[in-house]
Structure 1
Amino acid sequence: MKKKLVLAGAGHAHMLTMARLDSFVEAGFEVNVIGSSEYHYYSGMGPGMLGNVYSPEEIRFASKTVAEKMGATFTQGQVKLIDPVAQRVQLVSGDEHPYDVLSCNLGSQVSRDLTDGSRKDVFPVKPIENLLHARQRILELGHAKNISVGVVGGGVSAVEIAGNVWRLGQEPGMHPIKTTLFAGSRILPHHPDGVRRLVCSSLQKRDIRIEEDCRVQAIETGRVVSVGGRDYEPDIIFVATGVSPSPVFRESGIPTGPDGAMMVNSYLQNPAHPTIFGGGDGVYFAASPLDKVGVYAVRQNPVIYHNLLASLRGKELRSFVPGGRYMQIFNMGNDTGIFYRWPFRFGGRSAFRLKNYIDNQFMKRYQAVE
């Protein structure tokens, strides 16, 4: 009987494995890719899609097409639970999928403390598909009247969303968009002051309002309520208040880190259940907790690919080394970017061109297997 590999999620940490699924099939293993959508959107280009810099087709991978082209099975559905003893993955639909080796790249979600994402014209920034729906809604309203947009959050995602909402407002036929960014403490609280100044200058030059020390306690359709009791009435609201891992691991009784992400060792393997591997935002790297940035998911790719194949074959596993400092480039929505890699930082068109080049090379590499 063939051994079964299940990939739960086709995200950033599974890109290389997805591109080489045929090597598992050719080795005699059954492969099942489970995804909530037949496409996976690249989060690094999501704000640019919102700003109409990129089309949806330019920033997504055809997970279903790739899996089936490589001889694997693609199952569209959402993971509900994992039974690590019986080695089965249960979907929300009730369907169950057995595995001999499982790899999880379930990503993260925007915290639901303020909203469950079901309210009209309220858009959590994840999943990335939400940004496409938000773009369509802003264009619809903005062609008819002046509108206001609120962005709740003070991190990189919130900054890029605010800048790209402005960019969307420059489309032909659009009425003015008034954008306000609500930061609980201050903009980019974990970045150096020099980076903060570059970001604030970029936004304020375009009359994007920044409300710092404005902790939001409730979000409803057309209403943002601060802890101080002040009400704001944006037509469109984005929620970018930080992310939390999928609750699947805790609810499945799989050991997790303090943030609820699945615990993994140096092999990106759950120490209590060695047939389960994982990467990206949904795992907690016990040896050295990692920032929630996409660069680590990308760096995990070759290790996950090697270890899944090695585990199925009974071969030696390879350790993951996170690497040194990483680079960040923010897309500010006006064809400029802000580059930061300690101790260097600069803003301008050259920063955006660099980001655009890197992102497009990444897309070309993995879209080429479609």
Structure 2
Amino acid sequence: MAKQLVLIGGGHAHMETLAALPDFIGRGHAVTVVAPSPYHYYSGMGPGMLAGTYQPEDIRFATKRQVEERGGFFVLGRVVRINPLAKTVHLEDGASLPYDVLSCNAGSFVPLVVPVAGSGGPVFTVKPIEELLVARRQLLELAKAGRPRVAVVGGGPSAVEIAGNAWRLLRDAGADQPAIRIFAGTRLLGRVPKPVRRRASASLTSRGIEIIEAVHVREIRDGKVRLDAAADYPADFVFLALGIKPAALFADSGLPVGPDGGLLVNEYLQSPAHPEIFGGGDCIHFAPRPLDKVGVYAVRQNPVLRHNLLAALEGGALRTFEPGGDYLLIYNLGDDTGIFCKRGLVFGGRPAFWIKDYIDRRFMRRFQAL
């Protein structure tokens, strides 16, 4: 008997399932994909899009077109609740969809842990990635009027890449010395190897980007970044890069979640409480061991999710997900250089960026070709 498969999101963990839609549909199953945009943007190339190194079409997948050309149904909308007893998902517009098997790749968001109040310049979170297009346009408008003061709040890799690529954007727009400050909290890149931190700090400071450490941002109010130390810094434009959290959808739906609020899944990427619900990517908490919020795990989950979703529809055996070992990290510093880090090997410069650019473009070509 044909069954209903619903996918929440068209992100990295669902790529192979989307590619295999003809197989699902050819077996008589109906597949519906719900996503808030017709496109899915690749976060690893987002800072480069901010700088202008990449155009939007370089870093996005045409999810809606891919689904519909393969015989699936695409619903433009945002899922706000899952009812596991009725086996329905509920959308922001009031619509609901039934499912027999559900897979969640709902992504993550940047929590607004810093209060924003009063008047002042634009404040952008670094996700969703497509909002960086709006940020780019507004920064360019500010650059026409002078030398905009840009604040990046956060001390992780995202803050480093955003600051470096904002510098590139403004420099290319004619600002010889863009005024950019990173408010890094305790320490810039405090959780990465020291050689990476040293290289990143040296690259940013050599371009006049100021790194402020050992203090925390208390609030953003009336065009100023206010610190715990009672100091105020004027800012015409603010990026918030304060880490990411899983979508609140699962906790709001009363589903079992991990400490970070992500959908709790077992070694099969399956909810232990509701075996017809699966998930992957940033929105899950992997019960066997916590996983870093990096795209490599979503990519590694692809074949397991594809297999297990079909197995769940047809009563087959499930496969276990093995996260694998160490993974490659390469930072895009915005000046055609990068920092490469894997298994203790760290190097920087143009070769590091060339490797990242090659890997990212190859990944995009693979799935865009579908």
Question: Displaced runs of 4+ in structure 1, greater than 3 A?
Answer: 115-120, 172-176
Counterpart of 1:170? Answer: 171
Counterpart of 2:12? Answer: 12
Percent identity (aligned): 53
Counterpart of 2:223? Answer: 222
Counterpart of 1:323? Answer: 324
Counterpart of 1:3? Answer: 3
- What amino acid maps onto 1:68 in structure 2? E
Counterpart of 2:114? Answer: 114
Structure-2 separation of matches of 1:224 and 1:12: 35
Deviates more, 1:206-215 or 1:112-121: 112-121
Question: The residue matched to 1:269 in structure 2 has which SS?
Answer: coil
Relative to structure 1, is the Cα distance of residues 220 and 25 closer, same or farther in structure 2, using a 3 angstrom cutoff? farther
1:13-50: CA deviation from partner (whole Å, max 9, x where unpaired) = 11111122121111111110000101110000000000
Given the alignment of the two structures, is residue 24 of structure 1 paired with residue 24 of structure 2, yes or no? yes
Assess if the C-alpha contact under 8 Å between 1:142 and 1:177 holds in 2. no
Counterpart of 1:123? Answer: 124
1:221 deviates by: 5.5
Relative to structure 1, is the Cα distance of residues 185 and 103 closer, same or farther in structure 2, using a 3 angstrom cutoff? same
User: 1:1-370 maps to which residues of 2 (within 5 A)?
Assistant: 2-115=2-115, 121-174=122-175, 176-220=177-221, 222-369=223-370
Relative to structure 1, is the Cα distance of residues 68 and 115 closer, same or farther in structure 2, using a 3 angstrom cutoff? farther
Structure-2 separation of matches of 1:86 and 1:36: 23
Question: The residue matched to 1:114 in structure 2 has which SS?
Answer: coil
Question: The residue matched to 1:169 in structure 2 has which SS?
Answer: helix
Structure-1 separation of matches of 2:148 and 2:72: 46
Segments of structure 1 that go 5 or more residues without pairing to the other structure are none
- What amino acid maps onto 2:14 in structure 1? H
1:223 deviates by: 2.0
- What amino acid maps onto 2:131 in structure 1? N
Assess if the C-alpha contact under 8 Å between 2:116 and 2:219 holds in 1. no
Question: The residue matched to 1:263 in structure 2 has which SS?
Answer: strand
1:173 deviates by: 4.1
Assess if the C-alpha contact under 8 Å between 1:117 and 1:124 holds in 2. no
Structure-1 separation of matches of 2:222 and 2:11: 31
1:248-273: CA deviation from partner (whole Å, max 9, x where unpaired) = 10111100001100100000000000
Structure-1 separation of matches of 2:343 and 2:117: 36
- What amino acid maps onto 2:366 in structure 1? R
1:72-91: CA deviation from partner (whole Å, max 9, x where unpaired) = 01001111000011000001
1:166 deviates by: 0.8
- What amino acid maps onto 1:105 in structure 2? N
Assess if the C-alpha contact under 8 Å between 1:144 and 1:175 holds in 2. no
Question: The residue matched to 2:28 in structure 1 has which SS?
Answer: coil
1:143 deviates by: 2.1
Give the CA RMSD over aligned residues: 1.5
Assess if the C-alpha contact under 8 Å between 2:225 and 2:234 holds in 1. yes
1:186-206: CA deviation from partner (whole Å, max 9, x where unpaired) = 011111111110100010110
Structure-2 separation of matches of 1:116 and 1:261: 26
1:170 deviates by: 2.3
- What amino acid maps onto 1:15 in structure 2? M
1:285-332: CA deviation from partner (whole Å, max 9, x where unpaired) = 000111111110110000001100111111001000000000100000
Assess if the C-alpha contact under 8 Å between 2:116 and 2:221 holds in 1. no
1:214 deviates by: 2.2
Structure-1 separation of matches of 2:101 and 2:27: 14
Deviates more, 1:90-99 or 1:171-180: 171-180
- What amino acid maps onto 1:190 in structure 2? R
Question: The residue matched to 1:6 in structure 2 has which SS?
Answer: strand
Q: Normalising by the residue count of structure 1, what TM-score does the alignment of the two structures yield?
A: 0.97
Segments of structure 2 that go 5 or more residues without pairing to the other structure are none
How many residues in Structure 1 have an aligned counterpart in Structure 2?
369
- What amino acid maps onto 1:122 in structure 2? V
